[in-house]
Amino acid sequence: MTLRKICIAIAALPFMSVLATGQAGAADWKYNNWMPPKAMEGRIIPKFAKELLKITGGEVKMRVFSGGQLLGPRATLGGIRDGVADVGFIVPSINASELPHVAMLPDLLPFGRDGFSSAAAADETIMLNCPGCAADFKKFNARWLGGFGATAWHLMCAKPIKNLADLKGRRARVTGGMAARMIAALGGIGVNMNPPAINQALAKGQIDCTFGPIDWMQSLRLKDVVKVVMDFNLGQFHGLGWFVANANSLDALTAKQKTALLHNLPEWNAVYTNAYAERGVKITAELKANGVPFWKPTADIVKALADYKAGEPARVAADMRKRGVKNPEALIAGHLKTLKKWEKIVDDLKGDHVKIGEAMRREIYSKVKL
């Protein structure tokens, strides 16, 4: 075979795979989950994979690779683009330069009240109200089709804290500009680090504290190294993309498979978020029963956090502008309005996750086309 023919054959392989999948009416997807198997991601995604197989009549199989077996956190987005993974878990702040519009969502963490409203608002913003967000993913031949809400963020530290002065100079794990600014407002120093590395970094004294959901006390085994939790809702990290898919893989689905996928995703967004909420309550109770201090912040810390939050929209806009986003103020204002919309919906539905999933289907997914 000539060199030219070899090159043509290699270039055609991904397209031949997609074509074959479409012709057979079946798909064999790879899902990349870089979180540990025992984390919530490792528990929920395999359940969804079974559901996906069921609702497509056994035609769409999704194999889940957890714990970085396939790709790491930062490499997942490029891996979806290149077809290494068909679907993956994306945290926009980890790929802020590649997702300049989408990275706005986790940067607005202080304004997220709860997991349900934050997840729904992120989905609506990305899929319906933010052309720039769609363009971010299009550059990576990807589409965002589902996000979830974890538990509220807390500050968890390896050493006791008494007041604002105790946080001065403390090193805290952060991801993105938002968390770095938050710890700076408290007098500390931000250290960028992916979640799987936090446990050892705390154990070895490389960092003193970490921001994150209370679920990490169990899923990342932080309970072994964290000695105090600040009992204060710092906000809700949103824009957690549990279903970001390769566009070619989606295109290869039949019309019936696409309909089934879109119909079920909002339900699973709510199931995912509810699982986090229930687990957060359980873990908090267990930690308190085992003597882990949940410390109420002093007035000086509360004021420092309030001052920080008040100035965040302008700072987030400045960061977005540096990443090339035009008119970020309008995008931020629009998303904050959408957050309020979903907070009212969640309140009206009294936090019923089944009904919230139905509301997401009506308000968002019924308007999405594949």
| Location of structure tokens 């979180």 | 35
The sign of the dihedral angle between the CA atoms of 196, 198, 199, 204 is positive
DSSP 126: I
Per-residue pLDDT of 233-259, as tens digits, reads 999 999 999 999 999 999 999 999 999
What is the pLDDT, as a whole number, of residue 48?
A: 97
What is the pLDDT, as a whole number, of residue 215?
A: 87
Per-residue pLDDT of 254-288, as tens digits, reads 999 999 999 999 999 999 999 999 999 999 999 99
Q: Tell me, yes or no, if the two domains 25-150+237-285+328-367 and 153-236+294-313 fold the same way.
A: yes
Q: Where are the domains of the chain?
A: 25-150+237-285+328-367, 153-236+294-313
**For residue 347, what pLDDT band results from cuts at 50, 70 and 90?**
very high
What is the pLDDT, as a whole number, of residue 360?
A: 98
CA distance 184 to 190: 7
Q: What is the CATH number of domain 153-236+294-313?
A: 3.40.190.10
User: Cβ distance 87 to 54 under 8 Å?
Assistant: no
Mean pLDDT of the chain: 92
What is the pLDDT, as a whole number, of residue 194?
A: 87
Residues written for the chain = 370
CA distance 179 to 175: 6
Architecture of domain 25-150+237-285+328-367: 3-Layer(aba) Sandwich (3.40)
Report the alpha-carbon angle 19-20-21, nearest 5. 90
CA distance 313 to 332: 7
First to last CA, the chain: 39
**For residue 38, what pLDDT band results from cuts at 50, 70 and 90?**
confident
Share of the chain above pLDDT 70, in %: 94
Query: Strands (DSSP E) along 10-80, which ranges?
Result: 27-33, 60-66
Tell me if the pTM is above 0.85.
yes
| DSSP structure string for 214-226 | TTHHHHT-GGGT-
DSSP 254: -
User: Cβ distance 42 to 66 under 8 Å?
Assistant: yes
Query: Strands (DSSP E) along 75-152, which ranges?
Result: 87-90, 142-148
Per-residue pLDDT of 326-346, as tens digits, reads 999 999 999 999 999 999 999
| Mean pLDDT, range 18-27, rounded to an integer | 54
Listed range (1-15, 133-147, 303-317, 336-350) with the worst mean pLDDT: 1-15
> Quick one: tokens of 227?
């000695």
Per-residue pLDDT of 192-232, as tens digits, reads 998 889 999 999 999 999 999 998 998 899 999 999 999 99
